Chains A and B, each alone.
Chain A
Amino acid sequence: MCNNANPYVPFTATIEDTWFETVGDRCVKTFKVILDDAAARANWSHQPGQCAMVGLLGVGESMFCISCSPTEGDFLRFSVMRMGKVTQALHELEAGDKITVRGPYGNSFPLEEWKGKHILTIGGGIGQAPLRPIVEYVQAKLDQYAGLTMIYGARTSGDLCFKNEFAEISKNDDLTCHLTIDLAEEGWDYNVGFVPSLLMDVNPSPENTIAITCGPPIMIRFVLENLKKLNFDDAQIYTTLENRMKCGFGKCGRCNVGSLYVCKDGPVFSYATLKDIPEAFA
């Protein structure tokens, strides 16, 4: 939680490094960020799944999932897709520029509960950003989990995020990584097709497994259908929801999905909670 007395006032942070994950008009840029104030750095503790309000003085603030696991080090990582006013301004920043960060907000993936289980992440496009901290966390504590399967797809190979990290994952035999793109491209020798159909090909067993899926709503709808076909139980399926947010801690009232606030009761939800909330997949 924000440590200083006024929850609206953010910490200042410096961009240590930044690089483009994808190209094109809705490109994704990743920022590696260090909080300036040492005390703030020390007190900051986030879990995979939590998000933070990243801002630029004079422009505005937006909520982004923290796409790094606490096990990776004393920095924060945000992968930002170029979309609106704040993201366009963020995309113009270079290493050394100052931004503001406040948070961490929201609940996190219950990784403690999932100890001893097999973790299945199903991501689509920028949907891999909230899943990446799970992959890193499980990798760092592989002995406590029964392995990890990663299914990740995007429209084209250029749209795949974190490409540099897949090679290292496939080296370890407890971690399997399945990649797919919508249409065949030359020089691409992995799967071709949509993520939900790849899920059926991989045909993971629901036995002692947790499935986490993030991505465009249309993909989530079909992935959930297929997971039910693979008779995954509702409580075994998790996802994160995304809504417009302004405060981040339940005051400004806009991020509600039915009676749940995405910033307080989410962004991580189990399908068991979401399935009887009609507005969840609006």
Chain B
Amino acid sequence: MDIFKLRKDKFADFLASLGGYKLFAPQKVGESIRFAPVTDAGKVELALANTTVPPKSIFFPQTETLYRYALGNTEMHPPAEGEAGVVLGVRPCDARAQVIVDNLFSWDVDDPYYLERRKKIAVVGLACNKPCVNCFCLSVGGDPASTEGLDLLMTELDDAYLLQPLTEKGEKLSQAVAAVAEAAETGDLDEAEKLHRQAREKINRKVETDGIPQKLPGLWDDALWQNTAASCLGCGICTFLCPTCHCFDIQDEVEGIDGRRCRMWDSCMFKEYTLHASGHNPRPTRRERTRNRINHKYNYFVQKFDVIACVGCGRCISFCPVNIDIVEILRQVKEAR
């Protein structure tokens, strides 16, 4: 697969050439940047280290109809098939996260809603040249220029983008690119390689994660969890903004006689997440929930799918209102006797 060089001033034409697809890209929604359908190429924002809300919101929307029904009769109508799409400007860590979440949504029973979107929507990555202060992807098997989970990787040079197709979905996209871009020269490739290397050096957040899944069971009653959870507010930021968090709730909504059963993001940090109707709660305080969140990602998921369910994107660190820092927690787990 040959690599293309797309001039920045041709970027809008490139987006136009993807007209056949439903295009998503990072844009300002309200006051923050997240992935949203592209209506105006000028609004696409690729400069930020990463979006606030991860691209999981494209494959696993915050609220999604499972099926509709009318009260009184029992037919249930799942939504129609989605259309082919492209999500552009995905950072390598988020793309890796989606591959990790694929494990769960195809474990033993296939989740039709999520997997259909994963099949139909191509992922165009954007390599990180300027990692943010809380990125620690190198510590969990990631890389600012990793191609895992990507169909096409873009690398930003000073006046152009280097486009490298990786899968046949990516190959199909690059045919659309061919019209507006030219073949890249070796000079560009070295430039891109240099940028990737510099990005790796810029990541100063590091933590030793091997051995952590084996150590966590022994720390079940360690004071670490109480000390960490003391300042936790029990809100949903760290889970809703986490690209590997996949938990959801199912609720019924009825308006007049039309109803729908829908699912929406849920957080293990909320009290109601495990609250039984009888009032009993197996995880009554924030200590158990904090312990469960870290164990799920660095122990339980590893036992089931042999991969750490964390890609080091740093969102849970940057957006936690009380600065609970997962790298600090992991360091304490590593150092605990």
Contact = CB atoms under 8 A, between A and B. Distances in A.
- A–B proximity contact (CB within 8 A): yes
Interface of A: 1-2, 5-10, 12, 36, 55, 57-62, 83-85, 87, 98, 100, 217, 242-244, 246-247, 249-254, 256-259, 264, 278-279, 282
Contact of A58 (B259, B274, B283): B259
B69 A57 contact: yes
Contacts, number: 117
Given A9-B78, A253-B247, A279 B277 contact: no
A28 B249 CA distance: 26
Please name the 3 residue pairs, one residue from A and one from B, whose CB atoms are nearest each other, closest first: A84-B277, A253-B247, A259-B300
B110 to A, nearest CB: 8
Contact of B250 (A12, A252, A253, A264): A252
20 contacts: A1-B109, A6-B67, A8-B78, A57-B76, A58-B252, A60-B251, A61-B250, A61-B261, A98-B74, A246-B250, A247-B250, A252-B250, A252-B266, A253-B247, A253-B268, A254-B268, A256-B292, A259-B300, A278-B220, A279-B282
Contacts of B254: 58
B115 to A, nearest CB: 11
Contacts of A246: 248-250, 263, 266
Contacts of B112: 5-8
B76 A9 contact: yes
A256 B304 CA distance: 12
B299 interface: yes
Contacts of B220: 278
Nearest to B250: A246
Interface stretch (B90-98, B100-108, B188-196): B100-108
Contact of B109 (A58, A249, A253, A257): A249
A7 B109 contact: yes
Residue from A1, A10, A62, A282 with most neighbouring chain B CB atoms (10 Å): A282
A244 B275 contact: yes
Nearest to A57: B69
Contacts of B99: none
B259 A251 contact: no
A250 B109 contact: yes
Interface string B253-296: 01000010101001010000111111010110000100010011
A194 to B, nearest CB: 19
B249 A252 contact: yes
Contacts of B110: 7
A83 B277 contact: yes
A244 B250 CA distance: 12
A50 to B, nearest CB: 15
B108 A250 contact: yes
Interface string B106-142: 0111111100000000000000000000000000000
Interface-central residue, B74, B296, B304, by most chain A CB under 10 Å:
B74
A244 B252 contact: no
Given A250-B104, A251-B104, A57 B259 contact: yes
A256 B299 CA distance: 13
Interface in B20-44: none
B71 A57 contact: yes
A144 B280 CA distance: 39
Contacts of A258: 295, 300
Nearest to A56: B252
B246 A251 contact: yes
A172 to B, nearest CB: 35
B66 interface: yes
B94 to A, nearest CB: 19
B247 A252 contact: yes
A87 B276 CA distance: 12
Q: Which of B109, B266, B292 has the most CB of A within 10 A?
A: B109
A244 B281 CA distance: 9
B203 to A, nearest CB: 29
Given A57-B74, A58-B252, A256-B296, 12 more contacts: A12-B74, A57-B76, A57-B261, A58-B259, A87-B277, A249-B109, A253-B246, A253-B247, A253-B248, A259-B295, A259-B299, A278-B221
Contacts of B275: 244
